Structures are given as structure tokens and as C-alpha cells.
């Protein structure tokens, strides 16, 4: 079981809302730092453990700075993410570019930053060499196909667009070795939002075995093995969180069994966690605008799917509480909705909650990853602010809310005439 406790009481929240109107996402700095330290401690046995935070999960430079201070690097998949990382003080081999269908300017920027290039396809070797040159260190993303099952979110590996086949992996490293590359890494990503520690053991065993084969057949010793992300979080109160300590110990045993006898005792272990690091420590705060009673009882918020896409896109569960009513019994059944012209714009369906009144503040949990970052402007909706609950209890605005002027700013001369009205 996981306790769902918002780190602010109702009175403190109301004072924040007086300065920063809802909706907004707010992140708990203290909890994020503690969680990052816990991951590093769980893998303190591993030589040079690396965490490349998945920037796509929460692409805010203030959050990236906090994570960098705790030792994390950045997993990037676009040019803006590379620039965000650079501006946040993350450079060199603390960055790993793992993109797909990658344009030349992304490769060029990654090379300029000294980042690790993680290639998604064997054909990218020639493209990279032609458009950006070859880096000092290179990695390839492995897709095991039907050998290893994915989970419900990521699907079957053989149906995913990502990565190289087993045959291509051996060919790709051979090509790079012949081109004079001397430093190598290995990467995979086959699960997402996984709550079973055993799934990560299976991934580790597969990748360690592959690394040994590459050494034996090609004479290549991997500097690091990136086991990907995929560590899930307990979105539902009845879910159990992943025990990082057990996961670390399990992978340690497999490392000692497979890697050490092969002389790969210096190979570093890496993860690219995003959701698992910041996800549980972000919250979407919204105000109840309307209650509609037709065939169902609807609670309408000033937030919408534009602020949190996951429930509408995936049918994902996000826990909801009403500020000041956390200890009241759930007596009504509601659909909690936004105002988009889409029927999937619902944060919850048939959710048991305390009796809700107009003006109540609703807190949606676990939005610290793939929350604000997946926002959009459909229906002319404006992206919300992001706030940071600092360790000393103060509040920092780390991204202001979009304005109408922002919405029209990219429309050229037409935009200027509108904004002057």
C-alpha cells in the first residue's frame, strides 16, 4: 500500500492560490531529492552508477538543476532537450542522446556537447558520420524481439519501432570498431511503468549476457550498460511501490554471476528513470467550477486534459483528493472532467469522493512526470504554471502560466494586430 498525502494543508494551499491561480502543477523538492538519493544508494555497489534523468518526463530546467545537484545526468531525445540540459549545467557524457528518426542538427548538437550518442538503427551509422562525424563513444539500443516480453504500456518489443535486432547489434558494433571507435556502451528499454522487481532482473540478465557475447565474439568491453527506465510508481493507493533496494540487490547478484567471470567488473550500470524520480512528487491543483447532473454526476474543473493527458489518453488512474476533505468519507460517485470538446477529457470516471462543492480545490496526484510536459493548446487552452515547493517551505515559480499573447505570438503579423486590440 502507498500513502497518498499532499505536502501542503488546505490553508497553506489557499494562500498559494491567492498569488498563483489554479490550475497549476506543483513539485516537492525535498521528496524529489530524497528519492534520487535512494536510487543512488540502492546501486552504490555498482562501479560508477549512472542515472540519466528522462528529460521528457518533466522538461523544466529548475527540476533538472535539482537532479543534477544530486548526481543525475540527462536522457535526451530532441534538440530542445539537449539545450535544456546544457542550460541546466548538464554537459558532456552526463548527457545521453537516445532519439529515433533523428535529424542531423540533434546529432550535431550532441557531438558539440560531448554527449553519448545512443543509436536507434544500424542505418544511422552512415547518417551520423556524414552529417555530424563519429563521436568518441557510441552506444546502440537493443530490441530483443520476441525473446523478452514487454508490458502493457510498451507492448511487444518486436512491434516497437525502437532499437536494433540481435543480428544488427553484432554487425553495428563490428562496423564501429572497424571505423576506429574504441569506447562503447549498450542500451535497451523494454518495459514501462513496471511495478515488479523481477522484470528488471530479467532485463539485466539479458543485457549482461549480451555484453559477454559481444566481448567474446568482437573483443569489445562495454563501458556501461543502460538498462533503460520503466520503474513504475504506485498510482493507486493499493499499489506497492518498487522496492529499489531489493531491485538493486537482485541486479547485483546477476552482475556478479555473469559479468565478473567474464572480466567485465568495471562495466558501469545506468538507468534513465523519469517517472520513478519525479512522478510521485508532482501534483495538479485545480478548482471546481461547475457541477452537472444528467445521466451522471459531473464535477467540472478549471483544468483539462490539456494539463494532464494521461487519463484521457491511456485511461490511466490518478488519485484525487479534495483539499480540506481528505479525512471525509467518499459518499458520492463523480466523473471529474475538464472543458475540452472531447468526451475523453476526464480525470476520473465513476470515482467515489467526498461531497464536492463549487470552489473546492481538487488535487490530482502523481503528475510529476508526463503531466505538464504532455500539455497542448487544443481548444485554445493555455498551459498552466509550474511551482516548486522548496525544502524550506517557500514557493518558487519555475514556469509562468501561458497567456493569450503567448498563444498568438507565433502567428506573424496577424498575431500583432490581435494583440494590439
Give per-residue pLDDT as tens, 48-105.
999 999 999 999 999 999 999 999 999 999 999 999 999 999 999 999 999 889 999 9
Place of cell 514501462: 192
Q: Which residues are annotated as a binding site for pyridoxal 5'-phosphate?
A: 230, 272-275
**Distance between CA 102 and CA 98 in Å, rounded?**
9
How confident is residue 412, by pLDDT bands cut at 50, 70 and 90? confident
Total count of residues recorded for the chain? 421
DSSP 258: H
All three cell numbers of 142, joined, read 537493443
Cis omega before residue 23 (within 30°)?
Answer: yes
In the set 101, 329, 341, 412, the catalytic residue is: 341
How confident is residue 25, by pLDDT bands cut at 50, 70 and 90? very high
**Distance between CA 27 and CA 319 in Å, rounded?**
16
Does the structure show a pLDDT above 70 at 211?
A: yes
All three cell numbers of 184, joined, read 562503447
What is the tens place of the pLDDT at every residue in 106-142? 999 999 999 999 999 999 999 999 999 999 999 999 9
The reply to whether 280-408 shares the fold of 29-277 is no
**Higher per-residue confidence, 417 vs 223:** 223
| CATH class of the region 29-277 | alpha beta
Give me the residue spans of the domains in the chain. 29-277, 280-408
Q: Bridge-partner residues for 271, per DSSP?
A: 51
Strands 183-188 and 224-226: parallel
Q: At what angle do helices 244-258 and 29-42 cross, to 10 degrees?
A: 30
All three cell numbers of 19, joined, read 498569488
CATH topology for 280-408 is Lyase, Ornithine Decarboxylase; Chain A, domain 1 (2.40.37)
How confident is residue 416, by pLDDT bands cut at 50, 70 and 90? low
**Distance between CA 394 and CA 396 in Å, rounded?**
7
Alpha helices (runs of H) in 185-226, residue ranges in sequence order: 197-218
Q: Is 76 considered catalytic here?
A: no
Closest by CA to 235, choosing from 299, 315, 129, is 315
From the CA atom positions of the chain, what is the Rg in Å? 23
* Stretch 359-386: mean pLDDT: 97
Q: What SS3 class is residue 269?
A: strand
Cβ-contact 54, 271 below 8 angstroms: no
| Helix, strand, coil percentages in the chain from 3-state DSSP, rounded to 5 | 35, 20, 40
Strands 282-293 and 361-364: antiparallel
**Distance between CA 361 and CA 196 in Å, rounded?**
34
All three cell numbers of 378, joined, read 487544443
Q: pTM for the whole thing?
A: 0.94
CA 37 → CA 41, 244, 277, 281, 319, distances in Å?
Answer: 6, 11, 10, 14, 25
DSSP labels for 279-335? GGGEEEEEEEEEEEESSSEEEEES--TTT--HHHHH-----EEETT-TTS---EEEE
Strands 95-97 and 116-119: parallel
Q: Which residues are annotated as a binding site for substrate?
A: 275, 310, 314, 342
Closest by CA to 247, choosing from 186, 190, 191, 195, is 195
Closest by CA to 118, choosing from 94, 92, 100, is 100
All three cell numbers of 224, joined, read 556501461
- Name, in order, each residue with C-beta under 8 angstroms of 104's C-beta and a sequence gap of 6 or more: 127, 131, 132
How confident is residue 417, by pLDDT bands cut at 50, 70 and 90? low
Q: Which residues are annotated as a binding site?
A: 230, 272-275, 310, 314, 342
Give the mean pLDDT of the chain: 94
All three cell numbers of 384, joined, read 498552466
Amino acid at each position: 500500500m502507498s500513502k497518498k498525502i499532499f505536502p501542503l494543508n488546505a490553508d497553506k494551499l489557499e494562500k498559494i492560490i491567492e498569488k498563483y491561480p489554479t490550475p497549476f502543477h506543483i513539485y516537492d523538492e525535498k521528496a524529489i531529492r530524497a528519492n534520487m538519493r535512494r536510487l543512488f544508494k540502492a546501486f552504490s555497489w555498482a562501479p560508477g552508477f549512472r542515472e540519466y534523468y528522462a528529460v521528457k518526463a518533466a522538461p523544466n530546467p529548475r527540476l533538472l538543476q535539482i537532479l543534477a545537484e544530486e548526481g543525475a545526468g540527462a536522457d535526451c531525445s530532441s534538440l530542445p532537450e539537449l539545450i535544456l540540459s546544457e542550460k541546466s549545467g548538464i554537459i558532456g557524457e552526463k548527457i545521453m542522446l537516445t532519439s529515433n528518426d533523428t535529424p542531423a542538427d540533434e546529432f550535431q548538437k550532441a557531438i558539440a556537447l560531448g554527449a553519448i550518442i545512443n543509436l536507434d538503427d544500424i542505418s544511422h551509422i552512415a547518417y551520423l558520420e556524414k552529417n555530424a562525424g563519429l563521436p568518441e563513444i557510441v552506444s546502440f539500443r537493443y530490441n530483443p524481439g520476441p525473446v523478452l516480453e514487454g508490458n502493457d504500456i510498451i507492448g511487444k518489443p518486436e512491434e516497437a519501432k525502437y532499437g536494433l535486432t540481435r543480428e544488427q547489434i553484432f554487425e553495428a558494433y563490428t562496423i564501429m570498431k572497424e571505423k576506429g571507435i574504441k569506447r562503447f556502451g549498450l542500451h535497451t528499454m523494454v518495459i514501462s511503468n513496471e511495478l515488479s522487481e523481477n522484470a528488471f532482473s530479467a532485463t539485466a540478465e539479458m543485457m549482461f549476457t549480451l555484453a559477454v557475447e559481444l566481448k567474446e565474439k568482437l573483443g569489445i568491453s562495454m563501458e556501461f550498460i543502460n538498462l533503460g527506465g520503466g520503474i513504475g510508481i504506485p498510482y493507486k493507493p493499493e499499489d506497492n511501490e518498487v522496492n529499489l533496494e531489493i531491485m538493486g540487490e537482485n541486479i547485483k547478484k546477476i552482475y556478479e554471476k555473469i559479468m565478473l567471470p567474464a572480466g567485465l567488473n568495471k562495466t558501469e550500470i545506468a538507468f534513465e528513470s523519469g517517472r520513478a524520480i519525479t512522478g510521485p512528487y508532482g501534483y495538479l491543483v485545480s478548482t471546481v467550477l461547475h457541477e452537472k447532473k444528467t445521466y451522471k454526476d459531473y464535477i467540472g474543473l478549471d483544468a483539462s486534459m490539456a494539463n494532464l493527458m494521461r487519463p484521457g489518453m491511456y485511461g490511466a488512474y490518478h488519485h484525487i483528493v479534495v483539499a480540506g476533505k481528505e479525512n471525509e468519507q467518499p459518499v458520492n460517485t463523480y466523473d471529474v472532467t475538464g472543458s475540452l470538446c472531447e468526451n475523453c477529457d476526464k480525470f476520473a470516471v465513476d470515482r467515489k469522493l467526498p461531497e464536492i462543492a463549487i470552489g473546492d480545490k481538487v488535487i490530482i496526484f502523481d503528475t510529476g512526470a508526463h503531466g505538464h510536459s504532455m500539455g497542448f493548446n487544443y481548444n485554445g487552452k493555455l498551459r498552466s504554471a509550474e511551482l516548486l515547493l522548496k525544502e524550506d517551505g517557500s514557493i518558487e515559480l519555475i514556469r509562468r502560466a501561458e497567456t493569450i499573447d503567448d498563444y498568438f505570438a507565433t502567428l506573424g503579423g496577424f498575431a500583432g494586430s490581435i494583440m494590439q486590440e
